[in-house]
Structure 1
Amino acid sequence: MIFYLLTLLTSGNSVIIDTNLRCACSEILLENDCNSLMNCKWVNNQCGDYIYECYVQGLTNINTYTCNWNNKTNIYEAQKFECSQFKNRFDCSRFKPYCLWNSTEMCNEFTSCQDYDEQRCPIYYKNCSISNKDCINGLQSCQNYLSEQTCRGVQSDELECLWGEDEKCKAQSLKDCSSLTGYKICDINQIECQKNNQGDCVPLTCGDKRLEKDCSNTKIVKQGSSSYYLCVWENGLCQEAKNAQHLNRDTCSKQTAANYKWVNGSCQTCKILQPKILDQQKDGYIESEAQIIIIYLSTFLLSKFVIVFLFID
């Protein structure tokens, strides 16, 4: 396990939160905060490292297994699932892109783009695109879309179709707010953007939050990075927070992506931060808001796989 000594990132006097890092398990003093973190578990009144693993023997499609807790054996066990067992769109969507909700209102493994209607066409998950209101195989050039209504989807893994202010559909890489200057929309992923008086698309700032209720617990994502900074309401204005003292026992860890911990009645920085990509001995660790997956291919026995699917509400 590789640990990183904390380096406090600042923008002026603003505290910057790095979403790729989190407190070491051993520093967490609250049970709820501990159990909410991947690879941490509260045992004997303290937080410690814990590896969630499920084992599947033999050559198999690891994407068709989930890792669930067995209350009787007190261990995680791999459980096989079929896409067809999910009877509503929400449950099916949790397993994208392995399971998709098709035009017959059923959850199934992906087969062909033609099995999906215009509304459900998996244009962001598979090599599908829309033509004449049909879902077809293959990606199209954005310039083929002639109206603002049809200008959607992707041209490649890096280029998305956007409608420009010149009334043309163009392929654009969404990197930051400025990349949307000249387009009808001014918003990108989780980065809040707005158009300024000159019509340019620029990042939103804490000062743009005019009401206290909008300012509280606001996180402004730094464009082009995995970092964000906090906002706090002070002296009748929304400002960049210089520390995390405005956070309480319940919000300290959550609002700071576990870069901070609750100790001695205040929200304080952790002495040690470690990567959320935790186990350097395992390959293919992926963490996202919807799911966490660990995949390990043994170098000694190629037919043995270790997988984890931990779905978060």
Structure 2
Amino acid sequence: MKNIQLVFIVVLFGIVAADITVNKEKRCSCPSFIKSECDKWYDCKWSETSCQEKECKDYTTEDKCSGDCQWKGGKCIDEKKECEDMPNEESCSNFAGCGWKDNKCIEFTQCSDFIVSKAERCNVLRGENDERCQAKGVSVTTLRQKHLVVATGFQCENKVYVNCSKFVTEATCKGEATATAKCQWKSDGKCYAFELKTCRDADGFNSMCDPKYCKKDGQQCVNRSCSDLTTQALCTSIPKIDNNKAILCKWGADNKCTNAIDTTHLNEQTCNDVTFGSYHWVTNTCQQCASNWILSIVSLIILVAFI
């Protein structure tokens, strides 16, 4: 037990002293915000003395009326959109889990059930298990009218993936290997299924070292760091490849950008913006929202319990 407690203390100290990573998908809830923060978020509203979640009726434009709300009769109402609410093929194709069939929008069943007017609309069809579709070649179903052949659509079929290793030249090294990986030519003269999960994955792939997350260091592709940012205006955060996260940066008295280990450099104006809403301004300090902090502690306790 003493060993577990020691591990817990060491790990906890490491978290406190470590770089700050913020998750853009773990934004604070509206009630956590002060007024200046509340006004920045489209789904929050200030009501007399506190920030609250907006209701469907609070959205006055169709583009903001989403989620469990639906735009009907020129206003946003409390009614979740379903496939059957999509009025045409285009809107149906853009709505997850739906497909256009027999002039109506239905829940996705299987790729072969759908015939679309544009080949690319097969590509956006998705099943519950992320089943993907593609247009069946360039062929179309036809309808004969007055001895003329009229195209009525593109038949969809299950997505066909390629075996990248079969390609022996850079020119032919193309196509999708999986739902997330594509064929890319490597400097060793072979074709591989490539997916950028870490910067080092791009070693040997000439153009795949994504400058948004990574940088070239000789022949290697490595993570960008705050020190790569050379102006104070840009010294806010560095995005990470995984899970929509970012590392916070801090501009120092030496006019250099470094990784931040706390949020004391942030103020009421920058706290919420720089942390993508995952921190808020309270008691004159920039603090992580309680729900996010509790989640981190719970995760840590679970980790230690299994050591």
TM-score bucket (shorter structure): 0.5 to 0.7
3-state SS, counterpart of residue 20 of structure 2 = strand
2:246 is aligned with 1:193: no
Alignment of 1:22-37 (within 5 A): 22-30=27-35, 32-33=37-38, 36=41
Structure 1 pair 31–224 and aligned structure 2 pair: CA distance change class (3 A): closer
Structure 1 pair 207/36, CA: closer, same or farther in 2 (3 Å)? same
Quick one: distance in 1 between partners of 2:166 and 2:178? 14
* Corresponding residue number in structure 1 for 2:119: 116
Deviation at 1:272, TM superposition (A): 3.6
Q: How many residues align?
A: 237
Query: What is the RMSD of the two structures over their aligned residues, measured on CA atoms?
Result: 4.7
**Structure with greater contact order relative to length (CA < 8 Å, sep ≥ 6):** 1
Instruction: Give how far 1:34 is off.
Output: 7.0
The structure in which a higher percent of residues are helix is 2
1:161 corresponding residue in structure 2: 183
Task: Report if the CA contact (8 A) 1:8-1:15 is conserved.
Answer: no
Structure 1 residues 74 and 115, CA gap change in structure 2 (3 angstroms):
closer
- The 2-side partners of 1:207 and 1:77 are apart by 48
* CA deviation after TM superposition for structure 1 residue 257, in Å: 3.0
CA contact (8 A) 2:199 2:222 kept: yes
1:232 aligns with 2:260: no
1:172/1:72 CA distance change after superposition, 3 Å: closer
Partner of 2:61: none
Confirm or deny: 8 A CA contact 2:119 2:135 kept in the other structure: no
AA matched with 1:46: S
- Matched with 2:151 is none
CA distance 1:129–1:31, change in 2 (3 Å)? same
CA offset digits 1:41-91 (Å, max 9, x no partner): 5444313467879xxxxxxxxxxx9833679887423452234466xxxxx
Gaps spanning 5+ residues in structure 2: where? 1-11, 58-66, 101-107, 127-131, 139-155, 296-307
| Contact residue 226 and residue 235 of structure 2 kept, 8 A | no
3-state DSSP of counterpart to 2:200:
helix
Task: Name the CA distance, whole Å, in 1 between partners of 2:209 and 2:135.
Answer: 22
Partner residue in 2 for 1:261: 280
Give the C-alpha shift of residue 217 in structure 1: 2.3
Unaligned runs of 5+ in 1: 1-6, 54-64, 87-91, 101-108, 277-313
1:70-81 superposed matches below 5 A? 75-78=77-80, 80-81=85-86
Equivalent residue for 1:139, pick from 145, 149, 161:
161
**Matches of 2:166 and 2:74, distance apart in 1:** 57
Q: How much does 1:154 deviate?
A: 2.3
CA distance in 1, matches of 2:277, 2:133: 36
Alignment partners' CA distance in 1, 2:118 and 2:166? 22
Alpha-carbon spacing, 1:220–1:30, altered in 2? closer, same or farther (3 Å): same
Q: Flag the structure with larger Rg.
A: 2
Alignment deviations for residues 187-210 of structure 1 (CA, whole Å, 9 cap, x no partner):
45x96012212x111111111223
- Equivalent residue letter for 1:27: S
Relative to 1, partners in 2 of residues 1:26 and 1:114: Cα closer, same or farther, differing over 3 Å? closer
Contact 1:162 1:183 (8 Å CA) reproduced: yes
State the percentage of identical aligned residues. 23
d(CA) in 2 for partners of 1:238 and 1:28?
A: 28
